[in-house]
Structure 1
Amino acid sequence: MSDLKMSSAEVAATRKLIGLTLSELADELGVGISAVRDWERGRFSPREGLVRALLDLREVHDREVSRLLVAAVAGTPIHLPAGPKPKGWYLALGARVIDRFPDAILDWAEHG
């Protein structure tokens, strides 16, 4: 069995990369906000299952970035939705896309 770990800086950087607040990440992982805060401060480390869950969130975000990059390269406008994830999740997607493809066209998706 592997011993999967993340440093406090890795937890914080991953959370920021996927655009979630402390509270939003806590909700996604089913833990209290104080747990996430303690991980990021280095007081405690997340157990292996929670590290895996955080890495899974990153993987979902990475796949969505890849999908959006294909659209960006094709010159297709990218309409960032407003849900079901928190708005920061989608802003982070857009930021990662324009970091890799500065000419990408980003906008918010229309709502009825």
Structure 2
Amino acid sequence: MSDKIDAVWPAVPADERMSPAELRVVREYLGLTGEALAAYLGVSSRTVRHWEAGQFAVPDGVRLELEQLEEITARAVDDAVAQLLDVPEPTVLVYRSDEEYRAAQPDTRLPASWHRAVIARAADRVPGLAIDYPQPVS
């Protein structure tokens, strides 16, 4: 499957290739598990584990996909901050599970953990931000 990832991206210069450690740090910074990253990239979770363990080189396309995801994430943080900054007593809801998140955001390919990471980063910039779960549907 990683060949499929590289097929759509140009090659990255050797000195800019992603190391196994960098892959893990970026994945965790984005709030993604190995399984969630694998699903996002369309590869098996075993493949992600192999990349992070250094058993296989991280394909160039993965670095480029993650750079795009970092941009998407930064925009999501900025958008959340912009919506919440001037609100008195700002509150935002986060989701307990992927199912709950996808019910609220059906078009997303990303997991609830990504959304929670976005909100955590926004909370650093929005004083007094309250974070809560939606009320359970009974």
Identity of aligned residues (%): 30
Residue of structure 2 aligned with 1:95, choices 120, 126, 134: 120
Q: Aligned pair count?
A: 112
C-alpha displacement of 1:103: 1.8
Counterparts in 2 of 1:74 and 1:20: CA distance versus 1, 3 Å: same
Q: Are the aligned partners of 2:31 and 2:114 in contact in 1 as well (CA < 8 Å)?
A: yes
Unpaired runs of at least 5, structure 1 = none
* Structure-2 separation of matches of 1:87 and 1:13: 18
Unpaired runs of at least 5, structure 2 = 1-10, 96-100, 103-107
C-alpha displacement of 1:71: 2.1
1:41 aligns with 2:53: yes
Matched residue, 2:5: none
TM, length-normalised to structure 2: 0.68
Deviating beyond 6 angstroms after TM superposition, the runs of 4 or more aligned structure 1 residues are none
* Structure-2 separation of matches of 1:25 and 1:96: 19
1:6 aligns with 2:18: yes
Structure with the greater alpha carbon radius of gyration:
2
* Structure-1 separation of matches of 2:92 and 2:47: 35
Give CA-to-partner distance per residue, 1:13-60, whole Å, 9 cap, x none.
Answer: 111111111111001011111221122222222111121112111211
C-alpha displacement of 1:101: 3.1
C-alpha displacement of 1:78: 2.6
CA RMSD of aligned residues (A): 2.2
47-56 or 67-76, larger mean C-alpha shift: 67-76
TM, length-normalised to structure 1: 0.81
